[in-house]
Every structure is written in C-alpha cells, then in structure tokens.
Structure 1
Amino acid sequence: MIKYAGFIIILLFGIGLGLWIGQQRVAKTQANVGLNERKPLYYRHPMNPKITSPTPAKDEMGMDYLPVYAEDQNLPEAKPKSGRILYYRHPMGAPDTSPGPKKDEMGMDYVPVYETEPEPSGQIRISPEKIQKLGVTTETVAKRTLTRSIRALGSIQADERRVHAVTLKFEGWIQHLYVNATGQAVKRGQPLLEIYSPELVTAQQEYLIARQGKQALRQASAQARGTAEQLAENALQRLHYWDIAPAQLQHLQTLEKPLDTLPLTAPVNGVVLEKPAVEGMRFMPGELLFRIADLSTVWLLADVFEQDIGGVRQGQAVQVHIDAYPERLFSGKVDFIYPTLATATRTVQVRIELPNDKGLLKPGLYGSVALAAPAEKDARLAVPDSAVIDSGTRRIVLLQRSEGRFEPHAVKLGRQADGYREVLEGLEAGDEVVTRANFLIDAESNLKSALDSFGGYDADASQAVPEAQPGGR
C-alpha cells in the first residue's frame, strides 16, 4: 500500500511539472508573436521630428528615418526648459552660434541654450572673480581701414653717384700736400696738392713753341700758317686732356714760360674719404690720390623682408629714425629697389635718398625705416593681433559668448596691418573676442576638453579642495 502511494505521488509531480513547462512555452510563443506584430505608426526625420513619413525613407544626407511606435506616444513629455536664453546653437552641433533665433543652411531652427543648461563641449565658464584676476579684456570685431606700415633697418651710405676719384693721367711727384687728412672737408676748386712732372713741363714747352711758330708764320703761306695753328691747337688740347685747369692754362699763356709745378684742385664740394697721397711720393698715371664724396645727399640702404617688399614703391615717402639722433625725424623717398634677394636673410635691399644739408647723416650710422603702404580702399573685418592664437597649423580666437562664457573659434586670416589682422572667415561684425589673457583661457579650455573625455568636468568642483574622509587614504 505504501509502495502504491509513493508511485502515485511521483506520477502527480511529473504531470504538474509537464503542465508548467507547457504553459511557459505558450507564454514565450505569445510574446514572440506580439513582438513580431509590433508595427511603427510612422517614420520621422532623424534631425527634425516635425518631418514625418508613413513609409521608410532617407533624409537629404542619406540617414534613415526613425520608426515611431504606439508606446512611444505614451512616454511622459519632457519638462520644458526654463530660464534666460543665453544664445542659440547650431542644431547639427557645428561650432556656430547666434545671439537670436536663426535657421541653418538646411532650414532647421537653431537650438536655444538656457542659463541652467550644462556648458556645451568646447566652451568654458569662468567666474567674474577669476576674470578680474586674470585681467581678461575683450574687443568688438568691426570693420577697419587697414593701413599697413612696413618697418626695416638700414645704414647710411655715401651716394655712389657723388663719389669722385682724384687721379692724374701722367707720371710725376707730389711736391707739396695741402689736404693731408682723411675726413677733411674741401670746396670745389680748392688746391689739394702741388705736383711736378717732367712730362707736364715738356708738354707746356711744346705748346709755347707751337704758339711762337704760329706767330712767326703770320706772313707765310696759308699752308704753313695752317700747319702752325694745328700744332699749337694739338699741344693745347693735350694739356686739356691732362685735366689742366683753364686758369692755369691762362696763366701759362700770359707768362709764356712753362710752370715747374702745378696745383691739383678738388673737383667737387665734399669730404675726403680716402687719401693714399703722401707728400714726396711718386705717382703713376691712373693711380688714386684722393677719393672725395659729396655728402649733401646720402643713401640709406634698408633690408626689407620678402613678405613686405610688395608694399614698397619707387618714389614712396619714408620716415627715418637715426639712432644717433633719437629726437629727430628725417624724411626721404625710395630711390631704387634692388632686383635681387639675399637668400641668407630673405630680404631685399631698398635704397632711400635722404637730404643732408646740415651734414648730420654720416656714412655708417644705423637707422630704422617706416614706410606707409597704400591704405585699403574698403574697410575690412579685423581683429587685434593679440586676439589670435597661432598654433602653427591653425589660428583661433576666443569668443565671449556671454558674461564669463568663452569658446575657441577657428578663423581664416588675411593681411596684417598696424596691430590688426584681416578676418576672411570665421567671425562676424559685433562678435566679442578676448585680447588679453587668451592663452590662459585657451589652456583651461584644453584642460576641460581633456577631462570631458574622462567622464565630465565641473569647473567649480575642479577648483574645490576635496574633504578628507574618515579612515580614507
């Protein structure tokens, strides 16, 4: 009897277990059938929920429309955001914002950013106390007439066209030296030295003989008179070719006797740059005795960098500061632009002509040059040089989105002029850019981006000192 009772219990347990397993399979089958029967109500635009389609579709960028199911319609509505709107950001996440409502290039509305929302990626918020401590200053981006100034360094040189070499065309000796020091100022016609030359004495005698023969043959035939006149003319012309002054020739004709020595006079007003002549020395034809420079006008040879040479024009007005006279300003003009570039310094030499009536500009003095390039006809959008952070691969500025909120922004820049850079792309008139302490803000922005990649960043919490926990290390 006990054996049958045990068998009946085992049988009933097996039947109950079988029924339970069957019910589980039926429930799973029904769930799968319900899941397979779940159908979307419609399909919506992946970026703009207001655009829908009854069938699957793709947007203009090739993205699939998202299905919307019946249970999605019963989700609780998001709590509307409140607070003051700081600005409007691009709906696609592009680094573009607007102070007022705006639509993007696809017609989508810009998304408002509220005061209570967390900072968007790339932006950083700094407290007013920290802004004051850093000394942050900003400037409004505006259009300006860019006047570019080109600056260069150079040195004073003698005008090569006013340098004269004093030489003689015959052999002789220096009997007496009147100008015997380098740097001495001389006047045109002033005697420089007294010379003796056997060749010169012989040439004078030949002239006097020819002149006397001409006078003796006054009553002779026309052919004889012509020959005598030709000999006298040739002898006189020879003395002219030797640069004998007309006054000395007149003296020779008056005395009718050769001069043992003749003075050599200065050809121009100027300063003696070189004086190889020494009293008593013998000189040969063409040997340099003096080098005299007229310094009433001098050159300043300035080295202009190749990126600035396009703004230099011949005849352009120039302002020159000479180190020796810091209180004076000299004016000149561009006389010549040399046709070659110095590859070692990447500069082109520019010759500037300066008047030197008072003799203050001495060869060898250093000076700085300021050339005013032609101003642009139209005003152009520009930012201060100090606002630009140049990493070598890109140029960025820090935009002030609102009080205490900053964001790095890439820009494309043009020419540079007197502390400002032309903005070709990336900014609009009225934007506020940081002009001081921008490197510090940019460093903090980079730190924020780095910490964001590790799971978030709280500017206020990052500056707080964590409290010690009991038993902690």
Structure 2
Amino acid sequence: MFALLLGAPLGSAARPEDAARSAEKDPLILDAAAVAAAGIVVETAQVRTTVDQVRAPGEVKIDAYATALVSPRVASQVVARRAKLGDLVKAGQPLVALSSVDVAETQGQLIVASQDWARVASLGPQAVSARRYNEALVQRDQARAKLKAYGLSDAQIRDVVKRGSAAADGSFELLAPQAGRVTTDDFIVGERVEPGRTLFTLAAESSVWVEARMPPGQADEVRDGARVVVAANGRELEGHVIRRAHLTDEKTRTVGVRIRVPNEEDLLHPGDLVECRIEVASRSRGLAVPAEAIVLLQNQPTVFVRGKRAGQFEPVPVEVGETRGGWKTITRGLAAGTPYVRKGAFALKARILRSQLGEE
C-alpha cells in the first residue's frame, strides 16, 4: 500500500542503489528531531475495556462540601469590614468586626469569674468548701462556653482574660472557618445583623459541582464514581459522579446527577452551562486505539506502526468498529502488542501527501 501511495513502480527489480535512494526520499523515515517536531508518540496496541457514554446538559454549581457560610451567632452591629468580595482568605483570618451588648456582658462575666477562680484555685480545695471550689470553676467555664457559642475563638477568649476589664467592650471579630474566596458579602458597615444572617460565603474553588439533568432511564445506568468529561469554553475537564438523585423532577421529568470536577485553574464558575459525557455501566473488551490515531489514506482507515528501521513508520490498513469514550475498536489489521503511532498520525499523513505533490 505504501508503495502505491508514493508512486513506486510495481514489478520492477529493486537495485541496491535504488533502494538507498528510495530510503533517502522516504517521507516516513524521520530522525529524532523530526519525530519530536511532529509530536509523534508511540504506544503498544492493547486490548482495552471500553465504556459507553451518554451526553447530558449540566450547570456548574458551588461545591457545597467545600463552601462555608459566615454569620454571627448573636445580635450584633457591624463595626468594620476586614474582607471584601473576591478576596482569597486563609483559615482563621478576620473577616468582619462586630459589636454586641450580649457579648460585652459575657466578657465581663468571664473576667470576673476568671479572677474569682484564680483566687479559689490558689487557696486549694482544702482551704475552701467543695461547693465554693466547684462554683468558681463552673462559672468561669460557663462564661467561656458562652463566648465560644457566640463565635469567639479560643485565642479570642484567652485575650479577653488577659486584657481584663479593657476587653469587656462587646467587640469581637468573625474569623474565616476555612480558606477560600469570598463569593458573597451582602452587608454594610453600621448595619445591625441578627443571628444567622449570612455576611460572607467562602468557597474553595479548587473544585466545583456540575449538576447534570438526565432522563430517568439513562440516569439508572449511572454509577457513583463514574468518569465524566465536562466540555466548557473550548476545554475538556475530567470529573466523577458523586451522587445520583433518587427523585425525578416533576417539571422537567429528569433526574439530577451530581458531578465533582477539579477546578484548580478556575475555568468553571457557578452558573456556567456545560456538556457532560458520562460513562455508563455497559462495557466491552477489544483491541482499541484513540480515534486520533486513525487517518484515512485512499479512503481506507489506516494506523501507522513502527517500521523495521530506526525512525521508520509504516501505514497499515485496518477495519474499525465502534467509537466509545474517544477510543475506536480495531476489528482487523492490527495485532495486540504492535507499536503504533498514538499521536502524530496526521503529521505522517501530511508528509506522505507532500511527498506525492513533490513527485508530481
């Protein structure tokens, strides 16, 4: 076949000098630099387990397992903003300064209780009654627990005791419970906020969720952990199924499939519409190569294999079957264990075509 492509005469006797000249002109003999420039990658043909894929539309959502809401646990007034929309913050970083009457009262109680406990503890249980000893300890611990319930950290509580009466002013800061980006900050300085009011949303953008919508019949074939290719903005990202809903939406009659997608490069954002290609349960085994490894030569599907000489490649006609997950099954023409060109087949085809044009 290769001889036909290059226009070599058939039936003529091959002389040594002709063979040498032909080798020099052979477009499929490449040195190491040409192989690298063409992006050629050689692999060994193997029997693979191929899987079916189904396509479904999806919408990008925040990863709720990596998202936190920051809100006060006690009625407060906003004193100062420490972070704003779009900021990347670290765990424990101050986000907002608040002031609360309830916190001021509890700070005062802790200061008094801590001083009282220090006196009782210095005397020891032998010098005071057991009731008095336990009461002093419980009052201090209760004041600490109350401040912690209001959202103060252990370090902030220790600072109250250290500073004494100067710290009983009701001021405190809400700290970031995790690292992430501030995606909402809907409040203003001076505003009075009630417990539970969300001041910040922190999202770790290293991963996102994609909610795919599928007909119930297709969704039944999806398994947790199944591989998914998400196509968005001209890019393809790999993810995996983490949950299939067990409820059909009454309006759309579709089932939601939740997909987790790594997003370190910040390519996906909540609200983006994407296409999902989800692997399903049906599987088959057979010799398969990537679809890009097959080119058409004279209308015949062809794979390039490694030749006998160093840097030599040869076109081999093949018969192909189905394409699944980007892999095309080979039914005839290529044997398992044969080194073939996985990447760069189009570059080799182009060399053949250029060689033909040069001869003409």
C-alpha separation in 2, matches of 1:179 and 1:366:
30
The aligned residue for residue 89 of structure 2 is 186
Contact 2:208 2:268 in 1 (8 A): yes
Q: Which has the higher contact order (CA 8 A, sep 6+)?
A: 2
Would you say 1:271 and 2:181 are equivalent positions? yes
Distance 1:304 1:220, change over 3 A: same
C-alpha separation in 1, matches of 2:204 and 2:60:
14
Contact 1:205 1:258 in 2 (8 A): no
Contact 2:51 2:282 in 1 (8 A): yes
Would you say 1:157 and 2:61 are equivalent positions? yes
Q: How many residues align?
A: 234
TM-score by length of 1: 0.46
Contact 2:55 2:277 in 1 (8 A): yes
Would you say 1:354 and 2:258 are equivalent positions? no
User: 1:53-452, aligned counterparts within 5 Å?
Assistant: 148-181=52-85, 183-217=86-120, 218=123, 219-259=127-167, 260=169, 261-322=171-232, 324=233, 326=234, 328-342=235-249, 344-377=251-284
Distance 1:231 1:374, change over 3 A: closer
Compare CA radii of gyration and give the structure with the larger one.
1
Bigger mean CA offset, 307-316 vs 346-355: 307-316
Distance 1:258 1:204, change over 3 A: farther
Distance 1:378 1:267, change over 3 A: closer
Residue by residue over 1:307-333, the C-alpha shift from the partner in whole angstroms, topping out at 9 and shown as x without a partner, is 4234321111111111x2x1x321111
TM-score by length of 2: 0.59
The aligned residue for residue 80 of structure 1 is none
Residue by residue over 1:359-407, the C-alpha shift from the partner in whole angstroms, topping out at 9 and shown as x without a partner, is 222111221111233455489xxxxxxxxxxxxxxxxxxxxxxxxxxxx
Q: What value does the CA root-mean-square deviation take over the aligned residues? A: 2.4
Distance 1:185 1:229, change over 3 A: same
Contact 2:222 2:281 in 1 (8 A): no
Letter in 2 for 1:193: V
C-alpha separation in 1, matches of 2:143 and 2:195:
19
Identify the structure with the greater strand proportion.
Answer: 2
Q: What is the DSSP-based 3-state SS (H/G/I as helix, E as strand, rest coil) of the residue aligned with 2:165?
A: coil
Distance 1:146 1:354, change over 3 A: closer
Letter in 2 for 1:158: I
Letter in 2 for 1:313: R
Letter in 1 for 2:79: Q
Letter in 2 for 1:184: D
C-alpha separation in 2, matches of 1:201 and 1:378:
70
Percentage of pairs with the same residue: 26
C-alpha separation in 1, matches of 2:61 and 2:279:
23
Unpaired segments of 5 or more residues in structure 1? 1-144, 380-416, 420-473
Unpaired segments of 5 or more residues in structure 2? 1-48, 287-321, 325-360
Residue by residue over 1:346-370, the C-alpha shift from the partner in whole angstroms, topping out at 9 and shown as x without a partner, is 4322111111223222111221111
Residue by residue over 1:3-53, the C-alpha shift from the partner in whole angstroms, topping out at 9 and shown as x without a partner, is xxxxxxxxxxxxxxxxxxxxxxxxxxxxxxxxxxxxxxxxxxxxxxxxxxx
Residue by residue over 1:381-434, the C-alpha shift from the partner in whole angstroms, topping out at 9 and shown as x without a partner, is xxxxxxxxxxxxxxxxxxxxxxxxxxxxxxxxxxxx769xxxxxxxxxxxxxxx
Letter in 1 for 2:96: L
The aligned residue for residue 101 of structure 1 is none
Q: What is the DSSP-based 3-state SS (H/G/I as helix, E as strand, rest coil) of the residue aligned with 1:334?
A: strand
Contact 2:67 2:203 in 1 (8 A): yes
Distance 1:308 1:172, change over 3 A: closer
Q: What is the DSSP-based 3-state SS (H/G/I as helix, E as strand, rest coil) of the residue aligned with 1:373?
A: strand
